[in-house]
Amino acid sequence: MKDITELTVHELVEKLNNKEITAEQITKAYADRINEKEKDVQAFITITADEALEKAKKIDGEIKDNKNIFAGIPIGIKDNLCTKGVKTTCASKMLENFVAPYDATVVEKINEEKMISLGKLNMDEFAMGSSTENSAMKITHNPWNLNKVPGGSSGGSAAAVAADMVPWALGSDTGGSIREPASFCGVVGLKPTYGLISRYGLVAFASSLDQVGPITKDVTDCAMLLNIIAGHDEKDSTSANIPKVDYTKSLKNGVKNLKIGVPKEFFGEGINPEVKAKLEEAINIYKEMGAEVEECSLDVAKYALATYYIIACAEASSNLGRFDGIRYGYRTKNYTNLKELYRNSRSEGFGAEVKRRIILGTYVLSSGYYDAYYKKAQQVRTFVKREFEKNLSKYDVLLTPVSPTTAFDIGAKSNNPLEMYLADICTVSINIAGVPAISIPCGVDIEGMPIGMQLIGNRFAEETILNAAFAFEQKINFRQNYRPEFKK
Amino acid sequence: MAREDYEVVIGLEVHAELSTKTKIFCSCPTKFGGMPNTQTCPICMAMPGTLPVLNEKVV
């Protein structure tokens, strides 16, 4: 029999509800696994395994009603989602001791299911980065090769799922922060449609782009976690009031006659030949399964990265204005007047990348530059959206790489912000357009590092991309064929 | 500086009391005379992660 921590959540749920295992056994298995692997992977900022075990015992003692099939299932939470009574640091010195007095809506939802949090997961500071190296707390290591980055910004979440330290996790995605680490760590990550999931309690980075989403071992788990967290929330005015869907229902529809567009711009310059080759194999698999695959064009994609960094930084500079050392968070000891208190608290509390983006954002919003940068970026945004709409009226799904390369070495790009930004080139346009996209593993490179495939769908067409991802997953059985080796 | 070197710039900050039962961006009551720290919440405090929801009556 497989170890408990190797099971997917849908396998765990079945065993738990058949009373083959108890919540305590599951939580204990994960606590032991964290004990064993955390020294190598460094995925957690806060571990709550002891509290988790207490909760698990309590849940085992209660008579289960059928309503809570997830009662006793553990989960990991990215450290930018507020959890009442447990620190929410955003991997920043600014919030290193911050304890929110409330739960994020998605955290409330997992608590209602009586799921059990194993702790808070590492990330790039305030979700700004693509490698989790911008964390002020620690560097997370990729479970497939410990010398490589796990991707970012949800690097702790993806690494913990890949290393079987949590059965699934919550992440957030502003420009690729769920999909890129999922791709680098060989797991499944979904950036849902903007508005599908409440952002209440997600510490804001760029509000018009941020979205919470699942990081899981397989597509079925992804659909199940989406079922739990999706839905309208009156506390988030941008959350959509649409009918509830059971995302697990449509998984077995197959891909016969599914129309797949392959935007050629995503396969051009800068893409690693091994990544390209694996995606071409994936395209052939879809063709064999009966999908209609066609090359298409998303010409605006080349403007998306510049547009993204203008909009995201502008919104960040506004969102991070609240961290002034007065009401919460880090306060400098070094001040003689109010202005110094503000300035020194921010100078000492924020890391280099966060400061870089606040400065960039303040610059593009300043009078004299607003029209040239921010206004222009908003116009290009509309243009990008229209191009996506045009393509997605013709195709059910668009297929692209998640990142031009596989996971890179720790330290390789940390001194070159521009090169780091290029890691997001295939993912940012999706956030700009507000559409959903999933990252699933489609093979490994010559070093054994996972390669990710991105499937993009129309607004609120999560069912379509989950179904397409599921069909592919069944065909290649990535998890059965490849496992992380913790190479040193 | 001589008087003529100054340029007059006048800004008006208008404080209008809302005639609503709750605050403009959250559901905390606006009742006068309560105990300190009883009519406040994470949204009023601009706690990280909170989002304002505009009071319909104000619009």
Asked if the model's pLDDT at residue A407 lies above 80, the reply is yes
pLDDT reported for residue A253: 87
* Domain residue extents for chain B: 18-59
Task: Give yes or no for A98 touching B (CB within 8 A).
Answer: yes
Distances (CA, A) of A149 to A41, A311, A350, A411: 10, 26, 22, 8
Flag whether residue B46 sits within 8 Å of chain A, measured between CB atoms: yes
pLDDT the model gives residue A417: 83
Give chain B positions within 8 Å (CB) of A102: 42, 47, 50
Residue range A44-63: mean pLDDT, rounded: 94
- Mean pLDDT, to the nearest integer, of B30-54? 93
C-alpha–C-alpha distance, residues A187 and A482, integer Å? 11
For A81-101, how does the pLDDT look when each residue is reduced to its tens digit (9 = 90+)? 999 999 999 999 999 999 999
Residue B43 has pLDDT above 90, yes or no: yes
The overall average pLDDT reported for chain A is 96
| CA A361 centroid distance within chain | 23
Does B59 reach chain A within 8 Å, measured CB to CB?
Answer: no
Asked if pLDDT for residue A52 goes beyond 70, the answer is yes
What proportion of chain A, given as a percentage, has pLDDT over 70?
Answer: 99
Mutate to test the interface with A, among B50, B53, B54, B56 (most CBs of A within 10 A): B50
Query: Which residues of A are annotated as catalytic?
Result: 78, 153, 177
Contact indicator for A180, A423 with CB cutoff of 8 Å: yes
What is the arithmetic mean of pLDDT over A33-42?
A: 98
Q: What is the mean pLDDT of residues A305-324?
A: 96
- At residue B2, the pLDDT reads 86
- The complex scores an ipTM of 0.89
Q: Does B48 touch chain A (CB under 8 A)?
A: yes
From CA A319, how far away is CA A94, in angstroms rounded? Answer: 14
**Is the CB of residue B37 less than 8 Å away from at least one CB of chain A?**
no
- Nearest Cα of chain A lies from the Cα of B50 at a distance, in angstroms, of 5
Looking at CA atoms only, how far is residue A235 from chain B in angstroms? Answer: 6
* Tens digit of each residue's pLDDT (9 = 90 or more) over A422-445: 888 999 999 999 999 999 999 999
Q: Which is nearest to A215 in space by CA: A164, A149, A170?
A: A170
CB-CB neighbours of A52 under 10 Å: 25
Instruction: Among A96, A197, A200, A239, pick the best mutation site for testing chain B contact (most B Cβ within 10 A).
Output: A200
CA separation for the pair B35, A157 (Å, rounded): 42
Minimal CA separation from A65 to chain B, in Å: 33
Given an 8 Å threshold on Cβ–Cβ distance, is A327 in contact with B46? yes
**Amino acid A418: pLDDT:** 80
- Nearest neighbour of A100 by CB, restricted to B49, B51, B53: B49
Backbone φ and ψ for A216, nearest 5 degrees, come out as -140, 175
Is pLDDT of A66 > 80?
A: no
User: What whole-number distance in Å separates Cα of residue A122 and Cα of residue A110?
Assistant: 19
Contact B48 A98 (CB under 8 A): yes
- What was the pLDDT predicted at A65? 63
Q: How does pLDDT run across A272-297, given as a tens digit for each residue?
A: 999 999 999 999 999 999 999 999 99
Q: Which residue in A102, A199, A323 is closest to B42 by CB distance?
A: A102
A322 with B46: Cβ contact below 8 A: yes
- In this structure, how many other beta carbons lie within 10 angstroms of the beta carbon of residue A371? 9
Q: Does A235 touch chain B (CB under 8 A)?
A: yes
Of the candidates A97, A177, A191, A72, the one whose C-alpha atom is nearest the C-alpha of residue A130 is A177
Quote the minimal CA–CA distance from A204 to chain B in Å: 6
Mean pLDDT of A313-321: 97
Q: Point out which residues pair with A230 in neighbouring strands.
A: A197
B45 touches chain A (CB under 8 A): yes
Q: Model confidence over A318-345: pLDDT tens digits?
A: 999 999 999 999 999 999 999 999 999 9
| Yes or no, beta carbons of A237 and B48 under 8 Å apart | no
8 Å CB contact of B42 and A101:
yes
Strands A450-456, A437-444: parallel, antiparallel or unpaired by DSSP? antiparallel
Cβ–Cβ gap A82/B54 under 8 Å: no
**CATH superfamily of this structure's domain A4-259+461-481:** Amidase signature (AS) domain (3.90.1300.10)
Question: If you count residue pairs, one on A and one on B, with CB atoms under 8 Å apart, how many are there?
Answer: 48
SS3 A404: coil
* Predicted pLDDT of residue A139: 98
Cβ separation of A201 and B54 shorter than 8 Å?
A: no
Q: Does B34 touch chain A (CB under 8 A)?
A: no
Q: Say if the Cβ atoms of B48 and A203 lie within 8 Å.
A: yes
Give residue limits of the domains in chain A: 4-259+461-481
Interchain CB contact of B56 with A (< 8 Å)? no
Per-residue model confidence as pLDDT tens digits over A225-277: 999 999 999 999 999 999 999 999 989 889 999 999 999 999 988 899 999 99
Cβ of A101 and B51 within 8 Å? Answer: no
**C-beta atoms surrounding A389 within 10 Å:** 14
Question: Does A388 contact chain B (CB < 8 Å)?
Answer: no
